[in-house]
Chain A
Amino acid sequence: MSGAFFTLLLRDLRLAARSGGSAALALAFFALVATLVPLGVGADLKLLARVAAGVLWVAAVLAALLSLDRLFQGDFDDGSLEVIALSPLSLESVAAAKLLAHWLSTGLPLTLLSPVLALLFNLSPVGTWALFLSLLVGTPAVSAVGAVGASLTLSLKRGGLILPLIILPLLAPVVIFGAGAVQGALDGLSNGAFGFLAAFSLAAVLLSPFVAAACVRLNLAG
């Protein structure tokens, strides 16, 4: 059982890293957006530090969106998902493995890159640390909510276009609490945002495999 889980996890990571995988693409998108905003806003250092958390969080969510089609769509389109569904792994475990692979290849690299990009926004060390922690805790929720959306739209033609419409509203709490946690750290207040972010993330990660598995089941029967 656990052998099959890690086999699937490693295979998804390998596909993400190779050509045609979108891990590097998402990372480049994140870096480019985060670079363009200071260029557009100008050299008002105070203003940049104020908007840093919000901009970086939105950029991270959009970057993660870019790679969501990798979660299930690729495997659905070429028939791999049918073969995987017949394996000893339950579809819930399949969804969990894919979610974890997506986070390891998207959310985690984005988080690790964020301190570098925070420099462009003149974010203080405290703010940078808070941003890093909020991304570390919050990006799993992005993958989890994304997995539900991706599994729901599997059999839709051009499902990629409707996917953001489904999941962006659901990700509003992540952006609010993620950016809020950084703002709180900058202002020296504890506003509880980090706790809410962690709670949302935990709930999303725990529930997502079950919902995604149910959606995959429906789409395989279609």
Chain B
Amino acid sequence: MISSLTAENIAVTRGQRLLFGDLSFRLQSGRALVVEGVNGVGKTSLLKLIAGFLELAQGRIALASATREISDGEERGRHVAFLGHQDALKPQMTAEEQLTFFARLYGQNGDIAGALAQVGLARQAGLSCRYLSAGQKKRLGLARLLLSGRSLWLLDEPLAALDTDGRALALDLMRFHCANGGMVIAATHDPLPLGGESLKL
């Protein structure tokens, strides 16, 4: 279990351009961080940086557990669950198959049917992902987070495409995750009443 995340003086460049530099923040377990900023300021890049996809141009990001500190990018990735713009779903697979695949891939044997019911997709379990709407795909993405067993959730526009119920559900899941000692970092333009810190890029 990860107890905190620390970013010290981090900078990220895309191409030759510096997106942001000298950024520092700290997040304790059980807390949420909302990342705000105009289009193109580097919100997604920050999430990808934490997940270890992008190299740090400067500074360091470390996850601390009870026993040790993890600062290697790829190792950090083993502790995060990522929900991005893309749905990561295959039209040829059913919602249930897709979740079973994700759970097993992450070495988890969680309750697939329970997770589907939790995000309101119990009836769509056997439905091919080809027929799911954008909002339903997002809900399936939330179910993937629930089954991932990871303590740090990195969410890119988590409320996009969701209906009113879906938004409430997503917020509930984030609050629940934090209440259980997890951490959430969400990049968004929507107001996200999570009672956590906010970071303006």
Q: Which residues of A contact B (CB under 8 A)?
A: 3-4, 7-8, 11, 14-15, 18-21, 74, 77-80, 82-89, 220-221
Contacts and interface: CB of A to CB of B under 8 A. Distances in A.
Interface in B132-147: 144
A88 B78 contact: yes
Interface of B: 48, 51, 53-55, 77-78, 80-82, 84-93, 97, 101-102, 104-107, 144
A8 B105 contact: yes
A142 to B, nearest CB: 24
A92 B80 CA distance: 19
A11 B101 contact: yes
Contacts of B104: 3-4, 7
A15 B90 contact: yes
Secondary structure class of chain A's binding surface, majority of residues: helix
Nearest to A76: B86
**10 cross-chain pairs, A with B, having the tightest CB-CB distances, nearest first:** A79-B86, A79-B88, A18-B92, A7-B104, A80-B88, A87-B105, A86-B77, A83-B88, A220-B53, A11-B101
B92 A86 contact: no
B17 to A, nearest CB: 14
B87 A78 contact: yes
Contact of A7 (B48, B55, B77, B105): B105
Contact of A83 (B78, B97, B102): B102
B85 to A, nearest CB: 7
A82 B92 contact: no
A82 B51 CA distance: 10
A86 B88 contact: no
B144 A83 contact: yes
Given A15-B93, A78-B86, A83-B144, A221 B53 contact: yes
Given A18-B92, A82-B53, 16 more contacts: A3-B104, A4-B107, A11-B93, A15-B93, A18-B93, A19-B92, A21-B92, A77-B86, A78-B88, A79-B86, A82-B84, A83-B102, A84-B105, A86-B80, A88-B106, A221-B55
A79 B84 contact: yes
Contacts, number: 71
Contact of A86 (B55, B81, B87, B91): B81
A221 B80 contact: no
A84 to B, nearest CB: 7
A96 to B, nearest CB: 15
Nearest to B103: A7
Contacts of B54: 221
Given A19-B92, A20-B91, A83-B144, A4 B105 contact: yes
B82 A82 contact: yes
Contact of A87 (B89, B91, B106): B106
Given A78-B87, A83-B88, A88 B107 contact: yes
B53 A85 contact: yes
15 contacts: A3-B107, A7-B105, A15-B92, A78-B86, A79-B87, A82-B53, A82-B88, A83-B102, A84-B105, A86-B51, A86-B78, A86-B81, A87-B107, A220-B53, A221-B48
A14 B105 CA distance: 15
A80 B90 contact: yes
A79 B82 CA distance: 10
A84 B106 CA distance: 9
Contact of B105 (A18, A82, A89): A89
Q: Indicate the member of A14, A18, A86 with the most B CB atoms within 10 Å.
A: A86
Given A83-B144, A86-B51, A20 B81 contact: no
B140 to A, nearest CB: 12
Nearest to B144: A83
A33 B98 CA distance: 36
A155 to B, nearest CB: 13
A85 B52 CA distance: 10
A8 B55 CA distance: 26
